[in-house]
Structure 1
């Protein structure tokens, strides 16, 4: 993907994102998802894609922030964000019908009228495959493109996965890139199926992780 940076990343930690960082989190995730096949399928104009993806992640954070552990980041001591993950706890992954209705005009501004039908296809496909058993759900995780492959993303996810192991709870996600499947498999996830979007659209791979009896360890958390 992107060329890796030579910027040193020693001294970062994992913590919950602050409300004042929502814009920075959205911008980071937009950079990470700028070449995502599913995002490209929903947002067809490349020149405007990253800005619209950032808007999408602003909205996505509003859905998870009221929930415990909704947004976690890997960050340096001086506040530079390196990676971000959105999580939803057991039974809280789905937005209520009133919440979806209230957010609809904002999503129209993200996807446009034509893109909304494609976004609806993605949502319906994912909702139809979503497991019923209690679990932690990871809808989105992204690392700054210049740091991908440096271990920051896996360190970020291991913090929550360690909590899942301690509590005896599974975790679930959908990978929108085949190349990312091995990354999640190294963290204990396994592919459960393949979902194919209509009209020649890209695929998604639902992945499930059973809790492990051996808890993983990541960087010390920053306050």
Structure 2
């Protein structure tokens, strides 16, 4: 039975949370278009998605205090990875730390494709200062309990306090209605046969 009434408040993730964050994000996204593109093998995709989530969260967002979690009964059930207006983990120092882990995980031959894909998405980022929601995932057993909405609202409140817009990307069209309920709108759709179809969404500032 899914957890319902014991969800705790949103808190900032610590390095001790990396395994739990990776597990949640791996379970949340293993069957989404991007992991399917990166990891075509059904038998290993879940484990590889968990490992990729650990690299991204553990080397990038969590050390910068740009990750938040919600627990249920002491178990992390949802996680959000954010990038603040002044920049985040997608920089040279992150790549230097992460590359030794990404190459064996993704494969050296796939790295150029991944770089080109994210380079193409960078063209859709707002030029003005903004908060970027890199990942928001909920453990499947906790879906429908409000964990994801709690994480999203906490991040949006922070952006509203700054008077800044929020930008995100999703590769799953089923997520569009959810984000539209929080006043996001699609500003670009990347339809390129080389990459997963990607929807770029923006929520304007409250200022």
For residues 55 and 148 of structure 1, the distance between their equivalents in structure 2, rounded to whole angstroms, comes to: 22
Gaps of 5+ in 1: 214-223
Within the candidate set 60, 63, 79, 2:60 is matched to: 63
RMSD: 1.8
User: CA separation of 1:66/1:21 partners in 2, compared to 1, >3 Å: closer, same or farther?
Assistant: closer
Q: CA deviation at 1:94?
A: 5.6
Are residue 40 (structure 1) and residue 40 (structure 2) matched?
A: no
For residues 39 and 56 of structure 1, the distance between their equivalents in structure 2, rounded to whole angstroms, comes to: 9
Number of residue pairs matched?
206
| SS of aligned partner of 2:202 | strand
Show the 5 A alignment for 1:64-213: 64-68=61-65, 70-76=66-72, 78-93=73-88, 95-199=90-194, 201-212=195-206
- 1:6 equivalent in structure 2: 2
For residues 150 and 121 of structure 1, the distance between their equivalents in structure 2, rounded to whole angstroms, comes to: 37
Q: CA deviation at 1:34?
A: 1.0
For residues 209 and 47 of structure 1, the distance between their equivalents in structure 2, rounded to whole angstroms, comes to: 37
Gaps of 5+ in 2: none
Contact 2:7 2:70 in 1 (8 A): no
For residues 23 and 9 of structure 2, the distance between their equivalents in structure 1, rounded to whole angstroms, comes to: 19
User: CA separation of 1:43/1:105 partners in 2, compared to 1, >3 Å: closer, same or farther?
Assistant: same
Contact 2:191 2:197 in 1 (8 A): yes
Contact 2:13 2:62 in 1 (8 A): no
For residues 135 and 11 of structure 1, the distance between their equivalents in structure 2, rounded to whole angstroms, comes to: 29
Large movers: runs of 4+ above 4 Å: none
Contact 2:187 2:201 in 1 (8 A): yes
For residues 192 and 19 of structure 2, the distance between their equivalents in structure 1, rounded to whole angstroms, comes to: 30
Relative to the length of structure 1, the TM-score reads 0.85
Contact 1:74 1:83 in 2 (8 A): yes
For residues 204 and 11 of structure 1, the distance between their equivalents in structure 2, rounded to whole angstroms, comes to: 31
Relative to the length of structure 2, the TM-score reads 0.91
